[in-house]
Structure 1
Amino acid sequence: MDADAIETTFPRIISVDDHTVEPPNVWRDRLPSKYHDTAPRIVRAPLESISYVGGRFAPRMGAPGDGGPLADWWVYEELRRPLTRLDTAVGYSRDEVRLEAITYEQMRPGSYSVPERLADMDVNHVQSSLCFPSFPRFCGQTFTEAKDHDLGLLCLRAYNDWMVEEWCGPAAQGRLIPLTLIPLWDARLAAAEVHRSAARGVRAVCFSEIPPNLGLPSIHSDDWDPFLRACEETGTVIAMHIGSSSRMPSTSADAPAAVGSTITFANCCFSMVDWLMSGKFDRFPGLKIMYAEGQIGWIPYILERADVVWEENRGWGGVADKVLRPPSELFSEHVYGCFFDDAFGLRNLDAIGAGNVLYETDYPHSDSTWPKSREVGEAQMAHLSPDVVERIVRTNAIELLGLTADGLFARP
């Protein structure tokens, strides 16, 4: 297939990893007034300092009247988290994207506004988009780490209501696909929230790539079974974003951010081996999981190594009685890798499987290929047949997320 052919036929993209920056009123509009001073809220205040070293993000809010640059901060319990340029970098040159705190007026409106988001999707040849959170973090760690879990549950449900009713509401025209949160601190409550969301047409939920990093049980335990059962019963996909364990890969406390940015896939790699060796896919054969922003080039070797270990070491490796088939077979039936820029992975697609790969644009983050996601896809998929390109860019997402044949979210 030559470049001229793909230029005229490249499908409208269904991006399975973008992000929303929550508007300031998400929780104020959806919680009783008695919580307005304790639920998440925006405060404009100076920035005293900000750093991102060794995989750790460390901002400090200044006092009123300090001379630092003004930023909009989410305030919740003891948490003070500013909006940053890394939250919404599209529209800026790479050299202009720095670690700095900003206000809503300093970000691209498509980051938080539905009409502007749809317009930016049109510019980027994107039809539909699944969006991960910002302030709640990639799997709702903000509410999991809160002291008051009763209020945290109200806040989490309010976010899910906003996601379904407003972000993915009528104004989105079915082009924004809902992705909801669960209360990670209680698997039974999580199961209930999965069922509540599924009744509204939601078919994807956020989860942590490595739960023990959040002080939670590992996937090898039985603690998550109520949640996993609910996902299987409802056809809900478990979506894990890089960083959803609150620890981005790094090598040392003083490693520059570029080290972690190069190896962001590592947590996905560790997580996928956990799942493949957990026995969960044999116990819950309907489960589907996906790794957002993890890229795909690393997958072939991990599958090869996992199969060797399963074949040669399962007698003493603790998996003989629970992992009943080669891990590569389990991967083929249950796991999806997501990429936005991975020419190497696409050159090795036969070792991964075209049915296990999804495309994304990562709007509006600094890694985003916006507004050139089509051009990136055309260049990197030019060697693939049209039906394979269609599968990667659209069909896999339609089938996995229960979209209409036209690639849209439809309410029940």
Structure 2
Amino acid sequence: METPEPEIAAHRRHDTDLQSSPPSPPSRPAPASPPFPRIISVDDHTVEPPAVWADRLPAKYQDTGPRVVRAPLKDMSFLGGKFAPVMGAPGDDGPVGDWWVYEDLHRPLTRLDTAVGYDRDEIRLEVITYEQMRPGSYDVPARLADMDVNHVQSALCFPTFPRFCGQTFTEAEDRELGLLCVRAYNDWMVEEWCGPRAGGRLIPLTLVPLWDAGLAAAEVRRNAARGVRAVAFSEIPPHLGLPSVHTDEWDPFLAACDETGTVIAMHIGSSSRMPSTSPDAPPAVGSTITFANCCFSMVDWLMSGKFERFPNLRVMYAEGQIGWIPYVIERADVVWEENRGWGGVADRVRRRPSEYFAEHVFGCFFDDAFGLRNLDSIGVGNVLYETDYPHSDSTWPKSREVGEAQMGHLAPDVVERIVRGNAIDLLGLSPEGLWVA
């Protein structure tokens, strides 16, 4: 290829310089950027295999406990934050999918449960079968392989059929069966999903019977004794008909978490009510403002006095992103400074809410460039990374590339803390980032 004239002139000047000057030492290449750390995702999801409860419940509950049936879809909508599927009868027309059946609940598997690997414009609210699902959604070896593709070392997974904090069992009529279902799920989570096949790469997250704080405390302690350090909870319990965190009703549960170092993990939607603006608002509205429940919940906790009473308590918000946090903390501090007397918190919130946040609250994100640009206003130690596999919002299989693009302005040690170091400390993982029972 012919060299442009300006480059020829430059080469000639260089040649002249070489003739009149001693040779320069060879230039050293610029130091390479450190490799992006292996990710510890604090918010992924498991789709439970069909036999989780059938294999673990007493024989008398085999026909009433959670089980999978294949049936047609009669109707399904997702408007105003409400998911409303209707199962058809055998022989009805309509697309066929696998449904979880439990008491009077019929819950189908949908493409939104496991959307990775599909083009964004091809993802629809539709029923699917296990055969139409990415195997990594429910199979441990396949999950580890998909984690390898995505530069993920370890992952903590929220449930699907029980919903994000076990609301399915909380809403059931048979409390005895509900408690057995919670314990069966936890046994499967610890012994199989996070068992020997996972090699410490899957981190257990367990459920509690939310309808009884004493039973919840016992379940926290039962699982803590086998190395579990995270439990799912509702972001806004009153939406489930349960007491708020401003009452003393949850104290036995909170005391158990405080004593065992068990982190309270709250996923968006764990109040069974996604934020929306009207009954006919399309899902895109709610998807844009999913962080709102986390925002409301965090203010609840900061103004509850619970962090004063339970100094070892830690809470984390999964899939809530982090960009909204700085203003909410700032506003909470202003309210505390100026209005705590008539605001009803002077006797229990002894310090600025921002101080409690720094010591007790963790925000989780997978795609939040704005939040990362304002990291100093949040705190490097209060941020965790996630990939949301296998949901439609997931950054799989490019979570590393997304992280590199959004964290390129941060020092390597800061990136290390966000991507894995904070999770290791919070969840009691080994220095290598693995769960040890």
TM-score norm. by structure 1 comes to: 0.98
Aligned residue for 2:90?
A: 64
Name the SS for the 1:9 alignment partner. coil
Name the SS for the 2:340 alignment partner. helix
Q: Does 1:369 align with 2:369?
A: no
Aligned residue for 2:412?
A: 386
- The equivalent position to 1:281 in structure 2, one of 276, 298, 307, is 307
Q: Does 1:344 align with 2:374?
A: no
Aligned residue for 1:74?
A: 100
1:382–1:121 Cα change, 3 Å? same
**Deviation at residue 181 of structure 1 after TM alignment:** 0.1
Identity %: 82
What amino acid does structure 2 have at the position aligned with 1:280? K
Name the SS for the 1:135 alignment partner. coil
**Deviation at residue 9 of structure 1 after TM alignment:** 1.4
- The equivalent position to 1:291 in structure 2, one of 317, 330, 333, is 317
Distance (Å, rounded) in 1 between the aligned partners of 2:373 and 2:212: 42
Aligned residue for 2:182?
A: 156
Name the SS for the 2:415 alignment partner. helix
Aligned residue for 2:116?
A: 90
**Deviation at residue 23 of structure 1 after TM alignment:** 0.2
Q: Does 1:28 align with 2:54?
A: yes
Aligned residue for 1:334?
A: 360
What amino acid does structure 2 have at the position aligned with 1:121? M
Q: Does 1:399 align with 2:412?
A: no
What amino acid does structure 2 have at the position aligned with 1:102? I
Distance (Å, rounded) in 2 between the aligned partners of 1:33 and 1:170: 27
Aligned residue for 1:314?
A: 340
Distance (Å, rounded) in 1 between the aligned partners of 2:311 and 2:191: 31
1:271-297: CA deviation from partner (whole Å, max 9, x where unpaired): 000000000000001100000000000
What amino acid does structure 2 have at the position aligned with 1:316? W
Distance (Å, rounded) in 2 between the aligned partners of 1:314 and 1:251: 30
- 4+ residue runs of structure 1 moved beyond 6 angstroms? none
Structure possessing the higher relative contact order (Cα contacts under 8 Å, 6 or more residues apart): 1
1:40-66: CA deviation from partner (whole Å, max 9, x where unpaired): 000000011111000000000011001
Matches within 5 A, 1:96-107: 96-107=122-133
What amino acid does structure 2 have at the position aligned with 1:222? D
Distance (Å, rounded) in 1 between the aligned partners of 2:136 and 2:408: 30
Q: Which runs of 5+ in 2 are unaligned?
A: 1-29
What amino acid does structure 1 have at the position aligned with 2:410? L
**Deviation at residue 4 of structure 1 after TM alignment:** 8.9
Q: Which runs of 5+ in 1 are unaligned?
A: none
Distance (Å, rounded) in 1 between the aligned partners of 2:253 and 2:32: 45
- The equivalent position to 1:359 in structure 2, one of 385, 394, 403, is 385
1:109-134: CA deviation from partner (whole Å, max 9, x where unpaired): 00000000000000000000000000
Aligned residue for 2:152?
A: 126
**Deviation at residue 32 of structure 1 after TM alignment:** 1.7
Aligned residue for 2:6?
A: none
**Deviation at residue 67 of structure 1 after TM alignment:** 1.4
What amino acid does structure 1 have at the position aligned with 2:252? P
Q: Does 1:47 align with 2:52?
A: no
1:216-236: CA deviation from partner (whole Å, max 9, x where unpaired): 000000000000000000000
- The equivalent position to 1:264 in structure 2, one of 279, 283, 290, is 290
Aligned residue for 1:323?
A: 349
Name the SS for the 2:266 alignment partner. strand
Aligned residue for 2:252?
A: 226
Aligned residue for 1:112?
A: 138
**Deviation at residue 251 of structure 1 after TM alignment:** 0.2
1:271–1:5 Cα change, 3 Å? farther
What amino acid does structure 2 have at the position aligned with 1:197? N
1:184–1:4 Cα change, 3 Å? farther
Q: Does 1:135 align with 2:154?
A: no
**Deviation at residue 341 of structure 1 after TM alignment:** 0.1
Distance (Å, rounded) in 2 between the aligned partners of 1:35 and 1:321: 49
**Deviation at residue 208 of structure 1 after TM alignment:** 0.2
Moved more, 397-406 or 28-37: 28-37
**Deviation at residue 31 of structure 1 after TM alignment:** 1.1
Name the SS for the 1:316 alignment partner. coil
Name the SS for the 1:197 alignment partner. helix
Distance (Å, rounded) in 1 between the aligned partners of 2:189 and 2:317: 20
* RMSD (Å) for aligned C-alpha atoms: 0.9
Aligned residue for 1:202?
A: 228
1:331–1:52 Cα change, 3 Å? same
1:360-387: CA deviation from partner (whole Å, max 9, x where unpaired): 0000000000000000000000000000
Distance (Å, rounded) in 2 between the aligned partners of 1:341 and 1:271: 21
Name the SS for the 1:317 alignment partner. coil
Name the SS for the 2:359 alignment partner. helix
What amino acid does structure 2 have at the position aligned with 1:78? D
**Deviation at residue 5 of structure 1 after TM alignment:** 4.7
Distance (Å, rounded) in 2 between the aligned partners of 1:5 and 1:139: 43
TM-score norm. by structure 2 comes to: 0.93
1:4–1:176 Cα change, 3 Å? farther
1:309-366: CA deviation from partner (whole Å, max 9, x where unpaired): 0000001000000000000000000000000000000000000000000000000000
Distance (Å, rounded) in 1 between the aligned partners of 2:31 and 2:210: 48
Which structure would you say has the larger Rg?
2
**Deviation at residue 197 of structure 1 after TM alignment:** 0.4
